Copies of this chain bind each other. A is one copy, B any other.
Amino acid sequence: VAVTIADIARLAGVSKTTVSLIINEKAAATRISRETEERVRRIVVERGFQPSRYARGLRVRRSHTIGFVAPDFVNPFFARLNHDLEAVARRQGCRLLLGCSEDDPVLEGSVATALVSHQVDGLIVASVLDDSRLRKAGAERAVPTVFIDREIAHGTAASVASENEAGAAAAVSELCRRGARRIAFLGGIPSLSTSRERLLGYHRALTAHGLPYDSAIVLHGDYSAESGTQMLERLARARAGFDALFTSAYTVLEGVLAQLKRRHGTIPPEPMLATFDDHPLLDYLPVPIISVRQDTEALAKAAFDLIERALKGTPAVEHRRVPVELIPRV
């Protein structure tokens, strides 16, 4: 059914080489005459010829496809990241091939392998793997990989992430400035760099404001709304008082809000709330929620930049950090 390069060649009365050179814009070498080029191009358009990526990929070993694996594409942070990655891919003439890990290390592994077998030119992954599992994962990839959002084993593979520590510190400081004295920390998967760094920022802000660190009000779970709900319940049961709450991700905040509403019928003014990540609708809640907005566009650009670099044979293991924006909401 599909028309091949051979068809075009026959139709134009030239060789496949000639056609190939023309469609790949390599007629530049003045090798091909103006008129042959015209003629061939006309026929190409006429017949709607589309070179097969498969045949080409088989030869050239470039798929113009890059893989993106993330735990969840609904989470507004990853949704935006996804959107922005697609946009920069598009500008580069690439396509994004998706894989969802559901924050499950095993699934992540199989999904990444699947993408590799699809011959992606590069892999961008928001990984749930902790450092211990790294070597195994690293081994199976001959594909340029950059870790995004979550940094794995500093020093092994390139990565791009937000300034987690500074962002968390800014948000927690803002809580302090508003008079909070006991701020609970509801974290995500504790082994991930995001959680660790945000906890560090929390700690730093506490210290800066002369507040003590109390592990009784520092909880961990995973990055799901249910986990947010559960952590808040645990906190309540423990009767360790608190007047403010910092959630380390949007999803966790969602769970917290659900639980607050369930308990109070509405979102009460106390505890004060701050969160990593942002969402437009936060502007309209009855209480002012301090949030930290990540620059997904910059993250996306940086990730591609690193992939590009690796593809060009400069496999520098670089770690980039992107600034975040504090949205105070008064």
Contacts and interface: CB of A to CB of B under 8 A. Distances in A.
Interface of A: 1-2, 48, 50-55, 57-58, 63-65, 72-74, 76, 79-80, 82-83, 86-87, 90, 95-100, 111, 113-119, 140, 142, 225, 254, 257-258, 261, 267, 279-286
A147 to B, nearest CB: 20
19 contacts: A48-B140, A50-B117, A53-B117, A54-B58, A54-B119, A73-B73, A73-B79, A73-B82, A73-B86, A76-B76, A82-B82, A86-B98, A90-B111, A95-B99, A95-B115, A96-B97, A96-B98, A261-B283, A284-B285
Contacts of A115: 95
A170 B92 CA distance: 45
B281 A282 contact: yes
Q: How many copies does the complex hold?
A: 2
A19 to B, nearest CB: 16
Give the interface centre of A52, A116, A267 by most chain B CB atoms within 10 Å.
A52
Chain A interface, DSSP helix/strand/loop, else mixed: helix
Given A50-B113, A98-B98, A254 B267 contact: no
B48 A52 contact: no
Contacts of A140: 48
Contacts of A53: 54, 117-119
Contacts of A64: 118
A86 B65 contact: no
A208 B283 CA distance: 36
Contacts of A286: 284-286
Pairs A-B, 9 closest by C-beta atoms:
A79-B79, A281-B281, A73-B83, A54-B57, A286-B286, A54-B58, A50-B117, A96-B98, A74-B83
A281 B283 contact: no
A97 B97 contact: yes
A140 B2 CA distance: 11
B284 A261 contact: yes
Given A57-B54, A79-B79, A285-B285, A100 B86 contact: yes
B63 A54 contact: yes
Given A267-B284, A283-B258, A87 B65 contact: no
Nearest to A114: B95
Nearest to A286: B286
A76 B73 contact: no
A231 to B, nearest CB: 17
Nearest to A116: B50
